[in-house]
Amino acid sequence: MTDTIDTSLSIPKNTSEIVHQGLKKRYAAEKRFRRYGVVAVCVALLGLVVLFSSILTKGYTAFYQTNIQLDITFDESVIDPKGTRKTKDLSSADYAALLKKAMRTQFPEVKTRRDKKKLYNLVSSTAVFALRAKTMADPSIIGQTHSLWLTASDDVDMLIKGHIPRELPENERRISNKEISWVDQLIEAGSLEKQFNRQFFSAGDSREPEAAGIKGAIIGSFYTLLVTLLLTFPTSVAAAIYLEEFAPKNRWTAMIEVNINNLAAVPSIVFGLLGLAIFLNVMHLPRSAPIVGGLVLALMTLPTIIIASRAALKSVPPSIRAAALGLGATRMQTVFHHVLPLAMPGIMTGTIIGMAQALGETAPLLMIGMVAFIVDVPGGPTDPSTVLPVQIFLWADAPERAFVERTSAAILVLLGFLVSMNALAIFLRKKFERHW
Amino acid sequence: MTFTKTLALTALTVAALANINAAQARDQIRIVGSSTVYPFATAVAETFGKTTEFKTPVIESTGSGGGLKLFCAGEGDNTPDITNSSRAIKKSEVDRCAKNGVKNITEVKIGYDGIVFANSRKAKPMTITRKQLFLALAKDVPAGEGKLVANPNKTWKDVDPSLPDLKIEVLGPPPTSGTRDAFAELALEGGCKKFDWLKAMKKQDKNKYKAICHSIREDGGYVEAGENDVLIIRKLEANPKAFGIFGYSFLDQNGDKIQGNLIDGQEPTFENISSGAYPVSRSLYFYVKNAHVGKIAGIAEFIQEFTSNKAWGEEGYLADKGLIPMPMAERNKFSEEAKTQTNNIQM
C-alpha cells in the first residue's frame, strides 16, 4: 500500500496522466455497477419465474376435468309419470334416480347399501342438475337413452390428476380401494376421460369444486370496472386539465395537489370503509353490487389517474400552446384541439394502469359485501356479484383439496387479464407517443 | 368532442345511480355470519337455488359476531334475513336486536362441529388430556393452591413427562374467531376445571375464573395463524413439530396430510363427535328474522331445504361436507320448530 502511494506522490504528472491513472478504477466501478444491475434484474426475474411456475404447475390441471361416460335412460316413469311435460313437474323430478340406475347397470355386482352410496358418489352431485337442465331444455329427450359425459366427483378428479396418491394406506386417503377399482374399470372401458373443463369458464361459483367456475366473477369484475371507468375517466381528466391548464397557482391549488398525492397513497381498505359509511348506510345502495364496488374503486383510482393525466399534459411542449393562442384560439380551444389529443396516449396509459390496479383489489370490497358466495352470474351492475380476486380469496379458504388447483387457475386467468391490460397500455403508448 | 362525450357518459352514470334507489325491492335471500357454518350454508343455498324457482341466496362470511351485528341492525330490505353462528346468541346481542326493532328471531340448531388438535402425518400422534392442553396453552397456570404463575412450560415434556420432548408450538385462529372461543371454552376451560380451587372460584368470582381459564399464552407457544384453516394445514405439513387447531371438516378433507390427536382418549371421528364422546365439540346454529319470512321470497322454502333429511340427515349432503348431524329426535324437534317459527328467542 505505502509503495503505491509513494510512487503516485513522487511522479510529477500532467492532467492526462492523472486521468489515465484513475481510468482503470473508474472502468472497474462501472463494470461493478453493471454487474449489480444484472444481478438485481436476475433476482427479480427469478422471483417472478418461481411465482409463475408454482402457480402454473399447480393451476394448469384445473383446465381439465375428469368426466365419466354413462348411458342415461330418460325414463318417462321417473321424470314425468303423468305425462304432462309441464315445466313444474319436470323441474321437481327425481333425476338422481336416472343417474343411480345408470351406475347400477354399469356395475351390477355392487349390492350393499353402503357400497352403492360410494358408487353413486363417483359422479359429481351436480351431474343431477345437468340432467335436469338437459331435460328441461328439450323435453322430447324423455324416453330415449343417451350416452352422456358427466362430471366426476372431486375425489375421483383428484385421484386421476395424482393429487391423491394411490400408494397411500387406504385409511389416509379420501377414496377407498373399492372406489379405485371401479375407477380403473371405467378407465379400461374408455368411459372415464380428462376433458377440457368448459364449466370453469361458463359457470358461477359452486360449493362443489368440480362444478365451480369463474364466469360470475369475470362478469362481476367487468361491471365493476365499467362503473369505475365511466366515473373516473371523465372526472380525473377534467380535474387534471383544470389543475394543469386553468387553475391559478395559489395556496389553494397547492393544497389540493398535496391532498391528491396523499390520497393516492391511502390504503385501499379505507376507501371500503368510506363506501360502507356513505354508499350503503347513507345512500342505501344495494349490498354486494358492482355499482357500489365500482364507486369505491373509482374513488381509489381517481388520484392515480389524475396524477398520470397531469404528467401527460405537462409533457406537451408550451410552444404548442403558444402557437395555438398566437393564431387566435381561446384557451379552451387550445386545450381541446391541441394539448389534450397530444396528451391522450399518456392519459390512456395512466387510466389502464389504474384500471389494472382496481381489477386486482379485494380489501375495499370486503366492507361492502362483495366477498360473498354468489352462484348466479350477475345480469347487471346492481345484481349481487363478486370479482375475480375475491373469488380467488374465497376458494383459497375452502377445505376441499380440488379448490387448490382451481385457485391457481383463477389466478392464472386474473394474471392473463392484467398482463393484457398492461400490454395494451404499452402498445398505446408506443403507437401514439410523440417526441419533440 | 371527447369532452362532450365523456360529459354525456357521466350524466348517464349519475342517472343510473339515481335509479337504483327507486328500484330496490329484494327478491333474493341474504345470509351473513360464521365462517364455520359458511361451507354448509353455501351447499344448502346452491342446492336450493338449483332445484327451486327462487334465486340462489347470497352468503357472506363475516364471522359469528360480525354476522349478528349486521343481523341486529334492524329490519327491512337492506338488512340480512338469516345469520349463521358457531355459538348461541349472547344476551347482549339479543338486547341489541330488540333495541333496533328486531323482536322476533327463530333459532335453528343445525348440527355439531368438532374442533380438532391435529399435526402432520409425518409426525407421531400424541395422546393428550384437556388438563395438559390447558397447562400447555394457558397464559397463567396454577402453581399450588391459589397461586398463578406465567406459563413456564416450554416443551410438551415440561407439561407432562409422558408427552414428547418437543417445543410447544400450536397454530390456531385469532381472538375474533368463533373457533377460538369454542376451543377456549371447551378444551381449556375443561382442563382448567380439573383444578379444584379454580373450579370453586367459578361460583365466587365468575369473571376472574373466565379470565384465567380462557386466556391463551402470548409468549410464542400459541401462534395466531389467521382465519384461514387451509393455511394452518399447509404450515403443519411443512413443520411436523407443530400442532394446529381447526374445525373437523378440514381434517375430514385432508386426512392424507394431517391426523387428529386423541383428546381425553377420544379420537376426533365422525362417530365420536356425533355421540358426544369427543369432548371438544360445539353446536352450530342459524337465526332467522321472523318479520322477513313471507316478505322476502323463499325464506320458508330455504329453511325447509336446510332442515330436510337429505341435507342435514346422517346420509345427507351436509354430512359429506363434514357437518356432524344431530340425532333423529333432535332433528325432528328443530325442523318442526323452524317450520312453525316457534323456537323464538326470549327478548
CB atoms A174 and B255 under 8 Å: yes
β strands within A159-252, DSSP E:
192-196
Give me the interface pTM, i.e. the ipTM.
Answer: 0.80
- Scanning A324-383 for CB atoms below 8 A from B yields 336, 340, 369, 371-376, 381-382
Band (pLDDT 50/70/90 cuts) for residue A82 is confident
CB atoms within 10 A of CB A204: 26
Task: State whether B61 and B154 are in the same domain.
Answer: no
Task: State whether B203 and B143 are in the same domain.
Answer: yes
Chain centroid, CA A254 distance in Å: 38
Q: Using the 8-state DSSP alphabet, how is residue A109 labeled?
A: T
Give the integer Cα–Cα distance in Å for A432 and A429.
6
Residue found under cell 397461586 = B147
Contact status, residue B176 vs residue B35, Cβ threshold 8 Å: no
- Scanning B9-38 for CB atoms below 8 A from A yields 9-10, 12-13, 16-17, 20-21, 23-24, 26, 28, 30, 35, 38
pLDDT tens, per residue, chain B with 347 residues: 455 555 565 555 555 554 544 345 688 999 998 888 998 999 999 999 988 889 999 999 888 888 999 999 988 888 899 999 988 888 888 999 999 988 889 999 999 989 999 999 888 888 999 999 999 999 888 887 778 888 888 899 988 888 888 899 999 888 767 788 888 888 999 888 888 888 888 888 888 888 888 889 988 889 988 777 888 888 898 899 999 998 888 888 888 889 999 999 899 988 888 888 899 988 899 999 998 988 888 999 999 999 998 899 888 889 888 888 988 888 888 888 888 877 777 66
The residue type at A294? G
**How is residue A316 written as a grid cell?**
406537451
Give the integer Cα–Cα distance in Å for B142 and B188.
13
Q: Largest Cα–Cα distance in chain A?
A: 116
Give the integer Cα–Cα distance in Å for A232 and A241.
14
Could you give the residue ranges of the DSSP H alpha helices within B184-294? 189-192, 196-204, 206-214, 229-238, 248-253, 270-275
Band (pLDDT 50/70/90 cuts) for residue A1 is very low
Residues 6+ apart with CB under 8 A from B8: none
Tens of pLDDT, residue by residue over A159-208, are: 999 888 888 888 778 888 889 999 999 999 888 999 999 999 999 999 99
How many residue pairs bridge chain A and chain B with CB atoms within 8 Å of each other?
124
**How is residue B7 written as a grid cell?**
360529459
**What is the b/e burial string over A279-296, where b = at least 16 CB atoms within 10 angstroms of the residue's CB?**
bbeeeebbbbbbbbbbbb
> How does the average pLDDT of chain A come out, rounded?
89
Residue B260 falls within a domain, yes or no?
Answer: yes
What is the count of structural domains for chain B?
A: 2
Give the integer Cα–Cα distance in Å for B300 and A94.
22
Task: State whether B221 and B102 are in the same domain.
Answer: no
What is the CATH number for B128?
A: 3.40.190.10
A69 three-state secondary structure: strand
Of B257, B281, B305, which residue is a domain's last? B281
Task: State whether B275 and B292 are in the same domain.
Answer: no
Residue B21 falls within a domain, yes or no?
Answer: no
Task: State whether B150 and B290 are in the same domain.
Answer: no
CA nearest A378: which of A290, A312, A253? A290
Task: State whether B106 and B131 are in the same domain.
Answer: no
Tens of pLDDT, residue by residue over A208-217, are: 999 999 999 9
Measured between CA atoms, the residue of chain B closest to residue A393 is B228
Domains of chain A: 64-197 (no CATH), 215-432 (1.10.3720.10)
The whole-angstrom distance between B48's CA and the closest CA on chain A is: 11
Contact status, residue B326 vs residue B111, Cβ threshold 8 Å: yes
| Partners of residue A174 in chain B, C-beta under 8 Å | 253, 255-256
